Amino acid sequence: MEVLILNENDVRLILKTDKAIELVEVAFREKGLKRVQMPSKVYLFFDKYQGDLRAMPAYFEFLDIAGVKLVNSHPQNPSLYGLPTVMAIIILFEPRTGRPLCIMDGTLITGMRTAAAAAVATKYLARSNAESLGIIGAGYLARHHLLVFPYVMSVQKVFIYDIVKSKAENLAREFENKINAKIYVVDDPKSAVEPADVLATLTPSRRPIVKNEWVHEGLHINAMGADAPGKQELDPEILKRAKIIVDDVEQASHSGEINVPLSQGIITLNNIYAELGEIVAGLKKGRESDREITIFDSTGLALQDVIVAHYIYMQAIERGIGLKIQL
């Protein structure tokens, strides 16, 4: 049985930022139209190592493709072992027979599709005249986010905060000539929130970083960091003021930004306005006024990984990229 193997360099050669955004938007639309299968991600928790491993399966009816991503999150990896916080592989399967088609590196895909989801959310939920961007957390995901936002908003100013200031400074230097915007490194999270039209929170925090009093009317927040039980980045009082849009209600309820406030009874499921897929599919409206505060609660969908991986696989076959092995 022949299987195609694609490494990170193969993936990087094929996948471009604009294509990732396009594919992720399709994934949201298909979910909104209920033409997919996607059980909630399953976790193994390695508490003594402060990490976890997740299995994420999905199936697209219109593509007739299925796959599963296996991905970890170990925030101590960079400092202790010189390894990335997040590493992943994606395996694609042929639904007709169940045979494996491709095993590919999923780390780059994870970063790109996560940022692409924020871009899609920003497209539908940010004010049309949004031009200033706040970034909290200057790690791996921040790089991908800085690449995607110019596709969906006219970025003029960027305010970056990280608890390790040198990381924010390095990121600013890296992107000063990559995007046509002024980039400021700020000394506290408040200074990244208050001037922003669009905010992205990209941390593994388990306590709120963004305070309610900093959040002004009209702000759109991409809450991307809370992707496991107990994680949260936003003051729950913000959620009570905002229109909350999740990527998946079930996943968000147990592992998204809303998971802690839900468990504490601060909000209920009635506070959730929609899944993003419903908005992309035209079933519900997105932003309805310039005064609304909107929050996109992202947990990361297997659908995003599988649709991107399928595109990469098809391109690799067409272009003769990758290594074929016999299992």
Which listed residue (31, 69, 231, 243) is catalytic?
69
Spatial separation of the C-alpha atoms in residues 39 and 239, rounded to whole Å: 26
DSSP H helical ranges for 40-106 = 77-81
Nearest Cα neighbor of 294 from 244, 250, 258 is 244
Phi-psi region of 91 (alpha: psi -120 to 50; beta: other; left: phi over 0): beta
Nearest one of 283, 257, 309 to 89, comparing CA atoms: 309
Neighbouring C-beta atoms of residue 242, cutoff 10 Å: 21
Element (H, E) at 4: strand 2-6
DSSP per-residue letters across 164-187 = SHHHHHHHHHHHTTTSSSEEEE-S
Give the integer Cα–Cα distance in Å for 199 and 221.
5
Q: How far apart are the first and last CA of the chain?
A: 6
69 in active site: yes
Residues with Cβ < 8 Å from 175, sequence gap 6 or more?
A: 143, 146, 158, 183
Contact of 218 with 294, CB cutoff 8 Å: no
| Catalytic (active-site) positions | 69
